């Protein structure tokens, strides 16, 4: 369940427009974006183990899946099998502690993985690459320390993020330098933030999300959707809040203004039975949502499915953000722009609350649609000159 990759792969432009951003089309900026740009990886982790880097994704010019080597050259995956067969070794030797390594990023929608101490195990099925799924205790990467950034580089520029949608693990920050020479960064933890995330999860009663390595130290914290699947937190952990929201809007109206650049476009939600119906200004029902379960809330999928359209998707994104941030009871006008009111209810997405709280700039991808209101850890430039990834200290 790597939903953010799908968002970046198929919906960067649509989602940016939904957020009120200006996106340059290929005719405006194609000449400004070369076929590859440099990605400089700096190792400030303080760890002595070797680092391995992988650049995996979809080649946008052809739609083929594969990997890029250090020079940015694309290599398609060979045919896989059933059961899955080992993938070619796509690893690039990363920098030692205190050093940097520069590789080239091609026009991809994909991920830059890094692992510390051991190479990641990748396999291929008849359907393509098998991504690590460490919520499965039998996954071969369960005891490997690794993380990844997601990015899209295309004719409209570079989008690159630090993501915690699936897990919080080895700390890193990302950055992009534009044509003006300015560098925008995000993803950096506060001093001591790495340990603080694990400590605060335990204090909140969500310590079951933490996966420890063989030596007993934390490797990662799973996101709560994966935590439900693996038994780390109860499957109904958000049910009380969900029930209260549904009861509130039986007798009052939830107003959603999904597009920042279209303040006149509003939809109105009321609950009847087990269903919240949204109407437009003419009173016509445009879409309906059954009462979601906790997993739908955390994953922004299933009963909160968000197709890449202009009605249901934007409404689902807004509901998802309101549930995760626990703002639907305190503000009937969504999305809520005031982050000071986020995560205030006792029943909330404590994982996202804690991760956001330990970020130096307050930005994180604590759940798939954390970009509602631009609270996500994403940087973008329409004319990128270079990208950066910094492996951060663990303490």
CA atoms within 13 A on the CB side of 120: 28
| Pair (12, 147) in one structural domain | yes
| Pair (29, 157) in one structural domain | yes
What CATH number corresponds to the domain at position 261? 3.30.920.50
| Pair (31, 173) in one structural domain | yes
| Pair (266, 379) in one structural domain | no
Is the pLDDT confidence value at 36 over 70? yes
User: How confident is the model at residue 25, as a pLDDT?
Assistant: 39
Please give the backbone phi and psi of residue 302, each rounded to the nearest 5 degrees, phi first.
55, -110
Answer yes or no: pTM beyond 0.75.
Answer: yes
Is the pLDDT confidence value at 152 over 90? yes
**Total Cβ atoms within 10 A of residue 16:** 16
Domain assignment present for residue 346? The answer is: no
Domain assignment present for residue 315? The answer is: yes
pLDDT digits (tens, 9 = 90+) for 247-284: 999 999 999 999 999 999 999 999 999 999 999 999 99
pLDDT digits (tens, 9 = 90+) for 226-235: 999 999 999 9
Is the pLDDT confidence value at 7 over 60? no
CA distances from 270 to 208, 253, 320 (A): 36, 5, 16
User: How confident is the model at residue 14, as a pLDDT?
Assistant: 34
pLDDT digits (tens, 9 = 90+) for 134-145: 999 999 999 999
pLDDT-derived band at 50 (thresholds 50, 70, 90) equals: very high
Number of domains in the chain: 2
| Pair (41, 171) in one structural domain | yes
| Pair (224, 336) in one structural domain | no
pLDDT digits (tens, 9 = 90+) for 66-77: 999 999 999 999
| Pair (179, 319) in one structural domain | no
Mean pLDDT calculated for residue range 84-100: 97
**C-alpha–C-alpha distance, residues 267 and 335, integer Å:** 12
| Pair (356, 226) in one structural domain | yes
Is the pLDDT confidence value at 117 over 90? yes
**Total Cβ atoms within 10 A of residue 250:** 11
What are the catalytic residues? Answer: 150, 166
Mean pLDDT calculated for residue range 197-206: 98
Report yes or no: 329 and 244 within 8 Å, Cβ to Cβ. Answer: yes
Domain assignment present for residue 8? The answer is: yes
Per-position b or e across 25-50, b if 16+ CB within 10 A of its CB = eeeebeebbeebbbbbbbbbbebeeb
User: How confident is the model at residue 395, as a pLDDT?
Assistant: 83
| Pair (136, 210) in one structural domain | yes
User: How confident is the model at residue 252, as a pLDDT?
Assistant: 98
User: How confident is the model at residue 341, as a pLDDT?
Assistant: 96
Domain assignment present for residue 250? The answer is: yes
Report yes or no: 335 and 372 within 8 Å, Cβ to Cβ. Answer: yes
What CATH number corresponds to the domain at position 20? 2.60.110.10
Would you give the distance in Å from CA 285 to the centre of its chain?
Answer: 31
Instruction: Give the residue numbers spanning the domain of 23.
Output: 3-230+351-391
Spatial CA neighbour of 367 closest among 299, 292, 293, 296: 299
User: How confident is the model at residue 32, as a pLDDT?
Assistant: 74
pLDDT-derived band at 31 (thresholds 50, 70, 90) equals: low
Q: What percent of the chain has pLDDT over 90?
A: 91
pLDDT digits (tens, 9 = 90+) for 338-371: 999 999 999 999 999 999 999 999 999 999 999 9
**C-alpha–C-alpha distance, residues 185 and 363, integer Å:** 11
181 dihedral zone (left: phi>0; alpha: psi -120 to 50; beta): left
Spatial CA neighbour of 15 closest among 327, 313, 339: 313
**Total Cβ atoms within 10 A of residue 301:** 18
Beta-bridge mates of residue 391: 43, 172
Is the pLDDT confidence value at 16 over 80? no
| Pair (21, 159) in one structural domain | yes
| Pair (224, 80) in one structural domain | yes
**C-alpha–C-alpha distance, residues 232 and 222, integer Å:** 9
Instruction: State the average pLDDT for the chain.
Output: 92
**C-alpha–C-alpha distance, residues 4 and 284, integer Å:** 32
């Amino acid at each position: 369940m790597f939903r953010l990759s799908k968002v970046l792969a198929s919906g960067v432009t649509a989602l940016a427009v939904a957020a009120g951003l200006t996106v340059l089309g290929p005719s405006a900026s194609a000449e400004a974006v070369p076929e590859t740009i440099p990605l400089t990886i700096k190792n400030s982790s303080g760890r002595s183990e070797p680092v391995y880097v992988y650049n995996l994704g979809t080649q946008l010019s052809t739609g083929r899946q594969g990997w890029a080597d250090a020079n940015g050259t694309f290599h398609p995956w060979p045919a896989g099998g059933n059961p899955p067969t080992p993938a070619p070794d796509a690893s690039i030797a990363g920098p030692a502690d205190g050093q940097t390594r520069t590789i080239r990023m091609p026009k991809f929608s994909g991920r830059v993985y890094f692992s510390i101490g051991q190479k990641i195990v990748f396999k291929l099925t008849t359907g393509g690459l098998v991504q690590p799924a460490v919520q499965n205790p039998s996954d071969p990467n369960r005891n490997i320390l690794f993380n990844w950034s997601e990015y899209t580089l295309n004719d409209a520029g570079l989008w690159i993020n630090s993501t915690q949608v699936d897990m919080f693990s080895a700390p890193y920050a990302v950055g992009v330098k534009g044509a003006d020479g300015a560098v925008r960064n995000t993803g950096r933890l506060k001093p001591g933030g790495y340990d603080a995330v694990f400590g605060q999860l335990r204090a909140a009663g969500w310590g079951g999300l933490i996966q420890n390595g063989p030596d007993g130290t934390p490797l990662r914290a799973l996101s709560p959707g994966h935590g439900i699947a693996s038994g780390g937190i109860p499957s109904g952990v958000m049910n009380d809040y969900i029930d209260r929201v549904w009861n509130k809007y039986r007798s009052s109206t939830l107003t959603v203004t999904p597009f920042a650049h279209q303040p006149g476009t509003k939809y109105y939600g009321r609950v009847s039975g087990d269903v919240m119906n949204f109407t437009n200004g003419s009173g016509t029902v445009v879409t309906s949502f059954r009462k979601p379960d906790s997993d739908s809330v955390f994953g922004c999928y299933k009963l909160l499915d968000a197709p890449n359209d202009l009605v249901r998707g934007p409404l689902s994104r807004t509901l998802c953000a309101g549930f995760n941030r626990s703002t639907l009871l305190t503000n009937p006008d969504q999305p809520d722009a005031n982050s000071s009111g986020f995560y205030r209810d006792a029943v909330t997405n404590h994982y996202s609350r804690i991760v956001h709280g330990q970020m130096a700039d307050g930005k994180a991808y604590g759940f798939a649609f954390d970009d509602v209101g631009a609270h996500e850890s994403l940087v973008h430039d329409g004319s990128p000159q270079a990208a950066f990834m910094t492996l951060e200290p663990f303490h």
